[in-house]
Amino acid sequence: MTERQSSEVEKVLLHISEARTRARRAAQLVEKDGAEPHIVEALRAAEQQLADLHRKVSQGTYYAVADSSLRLAV
């Protein structure tokens, strides 16, 4: 990965991370405000999905091996 490519990946990961933090705060705020349980749950689910997405993008870019001959045998 080139420095430019790495920079672009890092920007995407940063935006995902910021969105996850925002979803967490929103869930806490609306729950404290007495929102319906389905609203709180939807925001918590969004937070979890963003965490999963962050992990997948990170693993698919920084930790991926392009050449299948270099992968570990399972």
Q: Where exactly are the structural domains of the chain?
A: 3-61
* pTM for this entry: 0.81
Which own/partner contact pairs does 16-23 have at CB distance under 8 Å and 24+ positions apart? 16/50, 16/53, 16/54, 16/57, 17/50, 17/54, 19/50, 20/47, 20/50, 20/51, 20/54, 23/47, 23/50
Render pLDDT for 6-63 as a digit per residue (tens, 0 to 9).
999 999 999 999 999 999 999 999 999 999 999 999 999 999 999 999 999 999 998 8
